[in-house]
Every structure is written in structure tokens, then in C-alpha cells.
């Protein structure tokens, strides 16, 4: 069970939340070509390590949150409101060798 510390409601189990996707993907400009939109919708990385994700607190305050979660251990490092920045920890914090870690920029 993942525990998410909602900034408004405090620590809650993941059953109160809905996973809403990758928070690092940026929508292409309106004049971008069809291929750019195809890649935006269908081509996604499957990162190993720390990842910034959108979660929706559907059974609580109904806010969208940014959650920094490790994709292998499910450890939650940080939770912030949608408009706030979150920092992604270095690979050494995860126990995953640096050669296997793909860094995720702060979102």
C-alpha cells in the first residue's frame, strides 16, 4: 500500500487517489505536426527509478497533486500541489546503481 501525504488532508492510503499519469510530459505546441501529437499521446518512457506523477485525491480534497515516487520500490519522496515544484532525489538515495538510474528533471 502506498501512503501519500496530501498537503491538505495529511497522510492517506493510495485507495483515496487515482493515478493520472506522467507529470513530466509537455504537450506540443498547437502548430506542431501530427507526428509530435502522436508521440505525445502514444510514446511514453517507462522509467526505472524516481518519477514525477500526477495523482488526483478523489476521496478527499479533490486536488491534483505531483507525487515523486520510485517506480521499483513505490517509495514516495515528495508530494506537492499541482502548481508547486518538486525535487527528484539523486540515484544514491534509492539503492539503484547510478548507471541504471535515468534522471528525471524537477517538474
Tens digit of pLDDT for each residue in 21-67? 999 999 999 999 999 999 999 998 888 999 999 999 999 999 999 99
Domain 3-25+32-100 class? Answer: alpha beta
Question: Is residue 2 within 8 Å of 53, Cβ to Cβ?
Answer: no
Give the span between the Cα atoms of 90 and 2, in whole angstroms.
21
> pLDDT tens digit string along 63-91?
999 999 999 999 999 999 999 999 999 86
Give bridge partners of residue 55 from the DSSP assignment: 19, 65
53: DSSP letter:
E
Q: Are 53 and 104 in contact (CB under 8 A)?
A: no
Amino acid at each position: 500500500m502506498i501512503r501519500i501525504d496530501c498537503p491538505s488532508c495529511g497522510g492517506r492510503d493510495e485507495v483515496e487517489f487515482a493515478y493520472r499519469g506522467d507529470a513530466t510530459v509537455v504537450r506540443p505546441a498547437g502548430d506542431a505536426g501530427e507526428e509530435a501529437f502522436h508521440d505525445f499521446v502514444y510514446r511514453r518512457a517507462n522509467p526505472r527509478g524516481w518519477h514525477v506523477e500526477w495523482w488526483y485525491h478523489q476521496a478527499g480534497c479533490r486536488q491534483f497533486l505531483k507525487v515523486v515516487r520510485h517506480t521499483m520500490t513505490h517509495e514516495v519522496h515528495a508530494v506537492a500541489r499541482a502548481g508547486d515544484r518538486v525535487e527528484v532525489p539523486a540515484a544514491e538515495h534509492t539503492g539503484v546503481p547510478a548507471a541504471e538510474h535515468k534522471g528525471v528533471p524537477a517538474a
